[in-house]
Amino acid sequence: MSSGPTAQVHLANVVANWRTLGALNPGSETGAVVKAGGYGHGAAQIAKALCTAGCQTFFTAHASEGVDVRHAVGGSPIIYVLNGPDNADLSHYADAGLRPVINTPAQLDVWRRASLDAPVGLKFDTGMNRLGLRPETVGDIKTASADLKVSHVMSHLACADEPSHPKNAQQLKAFTGIAQHFPDIPASLANSAGCYLGGDYAFDLTRPGIALYGGSHPPASVDLKPGLTLTAPILSVHTGRSGETVGYGATKTLEEDRLLATVAFGYADGLPRSASNSGFGVIGRVRCPIVGRISMDLTTLDVTGAEAFAEPGARVEFIGAAANLEEQADSAATLGYELITGLGPRVERIYE
């Protein structure tokens, strides 16, 4: 194992999560979002494992990501590019058999002028105001796309992680109306959190992302496994004396003698500086708080409660079965998405 931070990627766990999510909506196909390097886990490795397990529809953000996934999964699976086509990357669509998601009339024009034969997805904005065709243009878009092979109609939920939020029902109603304009074309609305909202939201295809990797806030009945275990080694252990301060800016003053461990993991590796004095690591099943500011390459933990396990070379878990991704993200005032997609190149990925 590396002398620096490592991420043991549990491919079997990701596959198990995909199956768990699929079981929630058995009448729908379950796809997989593998953009941003498979949410930091490795897009090629994740896609290959899921394809072997039976996943046949993948989503990336950029066409270049789609090319990598195509190399991993072979020629049969469907790969959509969520950000849509651009003149600069049309060759990727042709060479790798990718399908664009059309988000704007301009993208529709780009694709038509390209004269490529691949099917397309049409994405409509039902309340996110991010990417998507305007819902009031659905009639015009249906006419304008009549000569294209439209394989899916899509939208994206803005508030699915809050099940009782009224926006969910509003978007469901809006999207149902849009889908009715394309009665013979499969529809897709649910992201990870949308998979938990019930069958009305599932339509023909769900698009889980973060949940595949053990993130999101599923209901108690849904057991998701961590997609990776992130650890880093202790470099030194020493006693900090009462009244001394820890780290840059002296933001932590010790109120009593404490056993401190310096760990080879910092914000250059993806541990947000916002976790200073609030995040944690786990040693020997003991949760140890981060004390002082996180540095570029180093982080200090109070390991007083884990004295029996804290020694140079011992590894500290920052994400995994003992250090829940979303709990760690909450402690850093961020999201699980940011933690795993932000893991730096010094974090060695080990696949198992």
Residues designated catalytic:
35, 248
Pairing label, strands 348-351, 6-9: parallel
Place of tokens 């990598």: 68
Burial tier of 235 (Cβ tally within 10 Å: 0-12, 13-18, 19+):
middle
Neighbours of 201 (CB within 10 A): 23
182 and 158 Cβ atoms separated by less than 8 Å: no
Alpha carbons 249 and 276: distance in angstroms, whole number: 11
User: CA-CA-CA-CA torsion for 212, 159, 175, 114, nearest 10 degrees?
Assistant: -60
The token pair that represents 284 in the structure block: 């020997």
User: How far are the Cα atoms of 59, 157, 214, 226, 336 from residue 192, in angstroms, in the given order?
Assistant: 13, 10, 11, 15, 13
Alpha carbons 218 and 316: distance in angstroms, whole number: 26
235 and 241 Cβ atoms separated by less than 8 Å: no
Alpha carbons 285 and 56: distance in angstroms, whole number: 38
Alpha helices in 54-190 (DSSP H): 63-73, 90-96, 105-114, 138-144, 166-179
Helices (H) and strands (E) in the chain, counts: 10, 19
